[in-house]
Amino acid sequence: MSSVTDSKKLERRPGLWSRSIVRSSEIRILAVALILSAYFEVVNHDFLLTGASLQNLSQFIAPVAIIAFGEIMLMIGGEIDLSAGMVFAFAPFIMHFAHEAGVPAWIALLLGVLAAGIVGLVNGAVTVYLRIPSFVTTLGTLFFVNGFTLTISRGTPVPPPEGDTFPAIMGAWGYSEIIWAISIAVVMHVLLRHTRWGLHTIASGANSLGASEAGIHVKRLKLGNFIIAALLAGFTGILEAFRISSIDPQAGGNQIMFLAVAAAVIGGTPLAGGSGTIIGGLIGAAVLGILNDGFTLIGINAFTFNMILGAAILAAMIFNIHVVRLARKGDL
Amino acid sequence: MADVPDALRGEDIVKRFGAVTALDGVSLTLKQGEILGVLGDNGAGKSTLIKILTGFHQQTSGRLFVGGEETMLRSVDHARALGIECVYQDLALANSLSIYHNMFLNREIIHRGPFRLLNNRAMRSRAAECLEEIGVHVPSVDLPVEQLSGGQRQAIAVARAVNSKAKILLLDEPLAAMGAREAGLIIDLILRLKEKGGLSIVMIMHNYAQTLDIADRVMLMQRGRVTYQRDAASTSVAELMDIVRREYRAMRTSGR
């Protein structure tokens, strides 16, 4: 019986080995995170094993990670949301004004997140239906939302809603942010790997025309992922507002958005789309946090940190593209 | 009298895109269980015809009958629900996804329950069964399709269409850009599927000899029209070439 086989060719390729390399971008980046932690722990004994620095680290990681999860969903589809950092600053103000108007704190919070979602809806609709590249769409909303936030706040910080348990749950307690980040990571991981939504997002990123020929509603998926990204960015802004107990119109901004994109890239999600990993994004954020905290404790200043961050992003990207490509071809 | 209705019948199908007439009154018949080869140059309207039969485009005018019933194919999903499956030239495979995810793309098996999670285990074993059944061998259905050869990828795309209980299979240039050996394997696969029964196949083709080898009937399309239809047994490559050559001459002399 004849059959469509190419077993000879495949046997020559180290299929299993290359597969484990390709599939284990999470494990690779986890190894990097562990090595960095060990290094900083040796150099500076206060790095991990004191409560204060661990808490500090977790508070750096959490917001970057949560925003990164949204960016990862978009990047898989070949899109990006540059406005995330501005939505981050915008959502808490909506919460504040709603609360001022007499709405209970938790409903005000939901309204803030909802307002962020509307920005995401606009980002998605303009990108998908008016066929504007998302880089341009979200560059526009970046400035617009920033200006809008500065206008409604008159450039002045305000306090978040007060209370005991509610602010504590929503970011004020030291570890609440990282618990949120990990919980959201689990939900997003399941969404990406174990639902049709996630599978179709990957398929449309890998082959957009093919996915639509298979009957997948590519536009609807993209629109949804823009909304998810904005919801997460807005929610993160609210968590941070409760943590520092101040709603600052200058909070977040492009710095946190680019850190989130960096976390996604370092974690193994290529900007070109077609694949991505939520867990990788979480560990990528951890690597950034470890680098930041570690070098701060050693006493390296912020300027130098940016150089190291830049080098880390480049190294991660070069490694991901070339080593993985070679592994896939079987040349390694 | 027709006791068995034709698998597919089109009457006078016209498709215009703005000022361009892609199909100018095409009529075709696909009998139960046969393989119809559609030949023609680029721009003859073959792809447009396929896209109407898959519900991707809708005809401007003309009637379509699926299994004897008049139908307007509203969408890809609608055509699929009627058992019409297409393997496009780009294969519609997602390279980074596994073979089994690709085989169940957009008709995934999901666990019962409120979260509608993917049932990967069921998809994996069913994909392996399906490939086994039609004689397509791969090392593992877990492999991402980017690690497969062109022929294997084509076979996966065909297997996917068949796996969905297709009654009518549309193949858009299944042998394009394929070496002789790989093409032979795909031809074997198509003939095996035909022998299994229950499947009627429309193939868009470029190569006349291959078409006459596989198809029961051939149909030649030129500039949005069907200019020739014959049983494969009662025609020859020379005859087909002759018609095409005459058409070229006519075009040149008329200056079109």
Asked if B93 and B156 touch (Cβ cutoff 8 Å), the reply is yes
Selecting from B75, B94, B144 the residue whose C-beta is nearest the C-beta of A211 gives B94
Question: Which residues from chain A sit within 8 angstroms of residue B101, using beta carbons?
Answer: 199, 203
In CATH, what number is assigned to the domain containing residue B66? 3.40.50.300
Decide if B219 is inside a domain. Answer: yes
Type of residue numbered A194: H
- Chain A: closest CA distance from residue B82 (Å): 14
Count contacts between A and B (CB, < 8 Å): 114
Interface pTM, i.e. ipTM: 0.79
Decide if B230 is inside a domain. Answer: yes
Question: Which residues from chain B sit within 8 angstroms of residue A215, using beta carbons?
Answer: 75-77, 80, 106
Residues contacting A143, CB < 8 A, separation 6+: A86
Is A207 in contact with B56 (Cβ distance < 8 A)? no
Decide if B1 is inside a domain. Answer: no
Selecting from B92, B152, B182 the residue whose C-beta is nearest the C-beta of A213 gives B92
- Inform me whether the pLDDT recorded for A163 exceeds 90: no
CA A261/CA A64 separation, integer angstroms: 9
- pLDDT value at residue B186: 87
Asked if B202 and B9 touch (Cβ cutoff 8 Å), the reply is no
Decide if B170 is inside a domain. Answer: yes
CA distance readout (Å), B157 to A239, B76, B151, B163, B190: 46, 16, 10, 10, 12
Decide if B69 is inside a domain. Answer: yes
- Chain B: closest CA distance from residue A291 (Å): 31
Domains annotated on chain A, with CATH: 31-314 (1.10.3470)
- pLDDT value at residue B1: 45
Is A4 in contact with B151 (Cβ distance < 8 A)? yes
- pLDDT value at residue A75: 96
Report the residue of A1, A4, A6, A321 to disrupt the B interface, i.e. the one with the largest count of B CBs within 10 Å. A4
Residue B118 lies in domain:
8-254
pTM for this structure? 0.84
Q: Residues of chain A with pLDDT > 70: what percent?
A: 87
Which segment of A275-279, A304-308, B135-139 scores lowest on mean pLDDT? A304-308
- Stretch 152-191 of chain A: residues touching chain B, C-beta under 8 Å: 190
Decide if B2 is inside a domain. Answer: no
Burial A274-306 (b: 16+ CB within 10 A, else e): bbbbbbbbbbbbbbbbbbbbbbbbeeeeeeebe
Decide if B119 is inside a domain. Answer: yes
A196 has a chain B CB within 8 A of its CB: yes
Selecting from A4, A213, A275 the residue whose C-beta is nearest the C-beta of B152 gives A4
Per-residue pLDDT of chain B (256 residues; tens, 9 = 90+): 456 788 899 999 999 998 899 999 899 999 988 999 998 887 788 889 999 999 888 999 999 999 888 998 998 889 988 999 988 887 788 988 999 999 999 889 999 888 889 999 999 999 999 888 888 888 899 999 988 888 888 889 888 888 877 889 999 888 887 778 888 888 888 888 888 888 999 999 888 888 888 899 999 898 888 888 888 888 888 888 888 888 778 777 765 5
**DSSP characters for B157-225?**
HHHHHHHTT-SEEEEESTTTT--HHHHHHHHHHHHHHHHH-S-EEEEE-S-HHHHHHH-SEEEEEETTE
Decide if B3 is inside a domain. Answer: no
First to last CA, chain A: 35
Number of domains in chain B: 1
